[in-house]
Amino acid sequence: MNESNNSEANLLAELGSKKSGGAKANLSQDGSAWYVVYTMGYEDKVRQQIIKRAENMGVKEDIIEVFIPKKSVTKIKAGKRVEEMVPRYQRYIFVNMILNDTTFRAVRHTPGVLDIIDQPLSSAEVAKLFGRIARRTSTDGETVTQYKVDFEEGDEVKVEGGAFDGFTGKASSIDLDHGKVTVLVSVFGRFTPVDLTIDQVHPVH
């Protein structure tokens, strides 16, 4: 397990040890908060089932968002390297909801869900878990994913993950709407533009 996976495992272990009590300090004005949901796997399928149950049980407005942080990994398929987006925290889903008896049952009794940590995450924990992913609500009420970075075009950056893991280069373009960064990487003495996801690129301090 690499250093990145270790830090993720440690963070989740810390969250798993959270005890109930003192939770109200982490709630939004409408009473909603982010909660950690532990699953059997198949996170995308479980996510869709939670959304469907929320609709069927009439609590769609109280179960605001079901989110799976993802990262890019390189896999070998049919002898070729393929970039895939996989859950950053395997078996974990994060639900933004107003927790009450009905929403708890809706999520907890979804097939594939094993447990809910019923103490809401703090804003600091949300920042650690979701990294550079931010959200806003559009005028039509839909939740829109946005991204943020701590570097600018022209800055030296390091690539983490994928075929260019460990390479350094310069950020030549940043697409915050789609979470993409183009980095000029030196390969055999020539600069090559490489398209990466934002979570793969970090500034060199």
pLDDT digits (tens, 9 = 90+) for 4-58: 455 455 556 666 555 544 444 466 667 888 899 999 989 999 999 999 999 999 9
Topology adopted by domain 3-131 = Alpha-Beta Plaits (3.30.70)
Q: What pLDDT, on a 0 to 100 scale, did the predictor assign at position 132? A: 60
Give the best-scoring range by mean pLDDT among 27-36, 65-74, 129-138, 153-162. Answer: 153-162
Note whether 86 and 77 are within 8 A (CB). Answer: no
Beta-sheet strands, E only, within 17-167? 32-39, 63-67, 70-77, 80-87, 92-98, 113-117, 133-137, 143-147, 156-159
Overall pTM surpassing 0.75 (yes/no): no
Q: What pLDDT, on a 0 to 100 scale, did the predictor assign at position 203? A: 83
Q: What pLDDT, on a 0 to 100 scale, did the predictor assign at position 198? A: 77
Four-way CATH pick for 156-203: 1.10.10.10, 3.40.50.170, 2.30.30.30, 2.40.40.20: 2.30.30.30
Q: What pLDDT, on a 0 to 100 scale, did the predictor assign at position 112? A: 95
Rounded to a whole number, what is the largest CA-CA distance in the chain? 61
pLDDT digits (tens, 9 = 90+) for 139-158: 455 555 556 677 889 999 88
Q: What pLDDT, on a 0 to 100 scale, did the predictor assign at position 29? A: 64
Question: What residue spans define the domains of the chain?
Answer: 3-131, 156-203
pLDDT digits (tens, 9 = 90+) for 168-180: 999 999 887 777 8
Mean pLDDT of the chain: 79
Q: What pLDDT, on a 0 to 100 scale, did the predictor assign at position 37? A: 94
Q: Are strands 168-175 and 156-159 parallel, antiparallel or unpaired?
A: antiparallel
Q: What pLDDT, on a 0 to 100 scale, did the predictor assign at position 16? A: 56
